[in-house]
Amino acid sequence: MLTVFWRSGYALQLAMLLASTFAWAAPDQPDAVVIRALRHPVDKSYRKMVQGMDLFTAMHALAPKAELRYRVLPRERDADLQGVALAVLGDTVKQPVALAADGTFTLARDAKALAEDAVVSANRPAQTMTWRADIRTPGLPPNVRRLGDLRLECQVGMRAGLVSQYPSVLDLFFGAVQSPAGYCNEREVRYLFFAEQPIFGVALHYGKRRQEMTAARLYAGVLRGQTPQSERRYCDCQALLDRAYTLPLGDASWPDDTLIELEPMAPSANDDDPLRGYTKAEARGALGEAKVLRFDSGYEVWAYEWSASDFIVLFAPDGRAAKSRLRL
């Protein structure tokens, strides 16, 4: 999460929040939503999130059929987002924000909240929750996204300040916030997207052209050392590592209508993989030692890097290979 600077109005608002309990409805009302101030609240700049909305309007051509919503996601493994409540809080502004069942929400434009440099706050402690822009062209299958939508998600997410902070690239991230286009238009972008379920593969597909993403673009690049253990705690991917992926957003050879196909980690019943059923010992004997990434679900991904390609094997919780894939 990017460092939040102390600005006029913000320090006073935060002090008030920490010192008192606030409510959006009287506690004796049957459907009252009451939020008690937390020691380290999760918050985002309302002004920056409105700037993200403005940027979405200006760049709507990237996703002409989509609408902008913001979304909350778990950031820690044991984080519980059931019952999350959001509010826009300023010196005098206290406005509840409706949160949909899928964790998405929209913000109303409010001149008073802007003048008071309000924050969008949640009844959750810091580091337990993360935020993303959510832009989806309607009518696509559940495991398919559109590249133009995701390009715009990155632009809006950066402008709205919805990114993690990696100390090793601190200057890059601060610069990116000032110019989201400069960051999101790079071929190699560390902006993380999250699938709806654990994934084994990501592929770009446009017309007759199809390209499988390598292991470097899966699981926050952990298999290729891009997110070392020392930086893992700064990453929004802690709770969603098996769903995380990046894309070559700045590669203009892929048009905005390119489809992003997300292959679920769960094996298909008719998957006729040649390695299916191999034990780990058998795979190690046939292929040698691999880089191993273990997930809390019990699944393991073994990665082999061979010349300009890599080979990935997925092991199910029962210890047997479920599927494999050669990516060039």
End-to-end CA distance of the chain: 34
pLDDT surpassing 80 at residue 256: yes
Q: Which residue has the higher pLDDT, 127 or 33?
A: 127
> Sorting pLDDT into bands at 50, 70 and 90, what band is 235?
confident
> Sorting pLDDT into bands at 50, 70 and 90, what band is 233?
low
pLDDT surpassing 80 at residue 282: yes
For residues 138 and 149, the answer to whether their CB atoms sit within 8 Å is: no
Q: What is the pTM of this model?
A: 0.82
Q: Which residue has the higher pLDDT, 285 or 238?
A: 285
CA neighbor of 296 nearest in space, from 136, 56, 101, 78? 78
Q: What is the pLDDT of residues 2-61, one digit of tens each?
A: 333 333 333 333 333 333 333 333 333 333 333 334 434 578 999 999 999 999 999 999
Range of weakest confidence among 64-73, 94-103, 166-175, 302-311? 166-175
Q: Which residue has the higher pLDDT, 284 or 186?
A: 284
Q: Please give the pLDDT value at position 107.
A: 97
At residue 14, the 3 state secondary structure works out as: helix
Range of weakest confidence among 65-69, 104-108, 173-177? 173-177
Q: Please give the pLDDT value at position 41.
A: 58
| Stretch 134-144: mean pLDDT | 97
For residues 127 and 41, the answer to whether their CB atoms sit within 8 Å is: no
Q: What is the pLDDT of residues 112-123, one digit of tens each?
A: 999 999 999 998
Question: In sequence order, what are the beta bridge partners of 35?
Answer: 22
At residue 230, the 3 state secondary structure works out as: helix
What percentage of the chain carries pLDDT values higher than 90? 58
List all residues 6 or more positions away from 134 whose beta carbon is below 8 Å from its beta carbon.
68, 69, 70, 71, 104, 153
pLDDT surpassing 50 at residue 317: yes
Sign of the dihedral through C-alpha 164, 168, 171, 172: negative
pLDDT surpassing 90 at residue 250: yes
Q: What is the pLDDT of residues 143-193, one digit of tens each?
A: 999 999 999 999 999 999 887 554 444 445 545 445 667 789 887 888 899
For residues 83 and 105, the answer to whether their CB atoms sit within 8 Å is: no
Sign of the dihedral through C-alpha 264, 102, 18, 33: negative
